[in-house]
Chain A
């Protein structure tokens, strides 16, 4: 099946997907190494879900290639899905079914007995297996989705906006689980627009804008760019901006001004992210 461990967990090259006249993703390339926790950042409509749907074979694509764990997303879809645990952003199930029936259905469709792992996950996420799906809130449906994605102990998790709807306690438990599975070698691909969780838990991240990846790096490097967050009190006026460039030029620009206070800091990931989404010119 071509699942050599040297192959990256996800390898996308020149992926282009359009929905008729509407743009999905455009010439998107991405590489996620095995064992990584990878953040895929972008606002709604940037192409995050389309990328994931292409990877999982839910939609076809016009150009490029996509492989998961060394398996081609188009030709080896079934084998690929055996090794992946996916949690969609919407987390919808059959309303009349009970939680335990949904979890059992997901395991049976994989031809696996996952009762032990499922029970552990239900206990940790406080999922009531006897409730009907139609009785569950979005947060509780998300928890059922997490159990379905994790119970078969896959090699790769793909989570699409996993924490929306989860309360802070459950978010913490969810990431605790991610870190535990990751310590056993499971790769995690986390699509999100919640920057603090990417900053806190991911090692690498990519930023997607208008269907294309504009930046991929370690989260550490992304927050350590040449850009600096400048806060100062100049001529009695407070200023707060992101400066990217030579600091000599910045200080030269202060000549003739009265600088009462100044702090120069590494920017937050949020600010780096926003840089890619604003067309404002660099302030000198």
Chain B
């Protein structure tokens, strides 16, 4: 696990910054709920009556007048998007940075299998995503305690499991991109994240493109759906798992045969 430890050390600063940003921002929004509660009560009914837009944001199922609804529609969106952007940035750089930083000649002339390096880098990606989510959830729980509110542990666990799966899927797609390019494709990673996020909103508004729900991981990691329906949407989640596995396999196979410069 030498290289795994090395990779974790290389990424610890980014992990710290992103965890502080995502966790701090969402925890701040949770703490803001106390001062927003009264004013939100007044606008909650109008928010739930905006037709397709309410459906897109999950406000037709959850009322933002409650902390549960506020969390599912606002906090979860911030957390999901922030975590996905972190996973995308991390994923796009992991393999490509060895060639762009000219360290490939140092690393890949050591007696280790390329496939083993790929797997250890992927393990580092999974660990970083997991650490970010665990620390963020701990901060949110602290926020609930400071607010003097309680949340259903089962609902939180189900949503955050889905959020982790979603971030892993986006991270793995970007990891596969990283195997094919020679320079960090951070822009492409962020672009893909935004497109997938937009696809989730669009497929909830436009019936003709409802099938897009199988392509975007934001669909199965929608907190309002999970809180309202009591579980993950099995079809899109299974497709997401297949996409994740296919991208990992593509990265492993391609990078193992690639000419490194």
How far, in Å, is B162 (CB) from chain A's closest CB? 34
How many A residues touch B, CB cutoff 8 Å? 28
In the bound complex, how far is the Cα of B258 from the Cα of A19, in angstroms?
12
Whether B259 contacts A19 by the Cβ 8 Å rule is yes
Asked if A241 is an interface residue, CB under 8 A from chain B, the answer is no
Encoded as 1 (CB less than 8 Å from any A CB) or 0, chain B from 1 to 25 comes to 0110010001000000000000000
How far, in Å, is B145 (CB) from chain A's closest CB? 37
From B10, B111, B259, give the contact of A59 (CB < 8 A): B259
Asked if B110 is an interface residue, CB under 8 A from chain A, the answer is yes
In the bound complex, how far is the Cα of B103 from the Cα of A269, in angstroms?
34
- Provided the pairs A60-B259, A105-B2, A109-B2 are in contact, do residues A92 and B106 lie with their beta carbons within 8 angstroms? yes
Nearest A-chain residue to B13, judged by Cβ: A96
Asked if B229 is an interface residue, CB under 8 A from chain A, the answer is no
Whether A81 contacts B110 by the Cβ 8 Å rule is yes
Whether B102 contacts A81 by the Cβ 8 Å rule is no
A75-121 at interface with B (beta carbon < 8 Å): 78-82, 84, 86, 88, 90, 92-96, 105-106, 108-110
- Provided the pairs A88-B106, A90-B102, A92-B102 are in contact, do residues A109 and B260 lie with their beta carbons within 8 angstroms? no
Asked if B108 is an interface residue, CB under 8 A from chain A, the answer is yes
Asked if A58 is an interface residue, CB under 8 A from chain B, the answer is yes
How far, in Å, is B105 (CB) from chain A's closest CB? 4
In the bound complex, how far is the Cα of B112 from the Cα of A59, in angstroms?
15
- Provided the pairs A60-B257, A94-B10 are in contact, do residues A81 and B104 lie with their beta carbons within 8 angstroms? no
In the bound complex, how far is the Cα of B114 from the Cα of A81, in angstroms?
12
In the bound complex, how far is the Cα of B104 from the Cα of A56, in angstroms?
12
Encoded as 1 (CB less than 8 Å from any B CB) or 0, chain A from 144 to 169 comes to 01001000000000000000000000
How far, in Å, is A143 (CB) from chain B's closest CB? 14
Whether A109 contacts B111 by the Cβ 8 Å rule is yes
In the bound complex, how far is the Cα of B110 from the Cα of A84, in angstroms?
9
Asked if B42 is an interface residue, CB under 8 A from chain A, the answer is no
Whether B101 contacts A78 by the Cβ 8 Å rule is no
Measured between beta carbons, the chain A residues less than 8 angstroms from B2 are 105, 108-109
Whether A90 contacts B105 by the Cβ 8 Å rule is yes
- Provided the pairs A92-B101, A92-B102, A92-B103 are in contact, do residues A81 and B260 lie with their beta carbons within 8 angstroms? no
In the bound complex, how far is the Cα of B108 from the Cα of A53, in angstroms?
10
- Provided the pairs A19-B259, A78-B111 are in contact, do residues A105 and B105 lie with their beta carbons within 8 angstroms? no
Nearest B-chain residue to A85, judged by Cβ: B109
- Provided the pairs A58-B259, A59-B260 are in contact, do residues A106 and B101 lie with their beta carbons within 8 angstroms? no
In the bound complex, how far is the Cα of B6 from the Cα of A82, in angstroms?
20
In the bound complex, how far is the Cα of B152 from the Cα of A176, in angstroms?
71
Whether B3 contacts A109 by the Cβ 8 Å rule is yes
From A79, A94, A105, A145, give the contact of B111 (CB < 8 A): A79
Whether B110 contacts A109 by the Cβ 8 Å rule is yes
- Candidate in B104, B112, B259 with the most chain A CB atoms within 10 angstroms: B259
Provide 10 A-B residue pairs closer than 8 Å at the C-beta atoms, listed in order of the A residue: A58-B105, A58-B259, A60-B257, A92-B106, A93-B106, A94-B103, A95-B101, A96-B10, A109-B110, A110-B110
14 other contacts beyond A57-B108, A92-B101, with CB at 8 A cut-off? A53-B260, A56-B109, A58-B260, A59-B260, A60-B257, A60-B259, A78-B112, A81-B110, A90-B105, A92-B102, A105-B6, A108-B2, A109-B110, A110-B110
Across the A-B interface, give the 8 residue pairs with the lowest CB-CB distance, nearest first: A92-B102, A88-B105, A81-B111, A59-B259, A109-B110, A82-B111, A108-B2, A86-B109
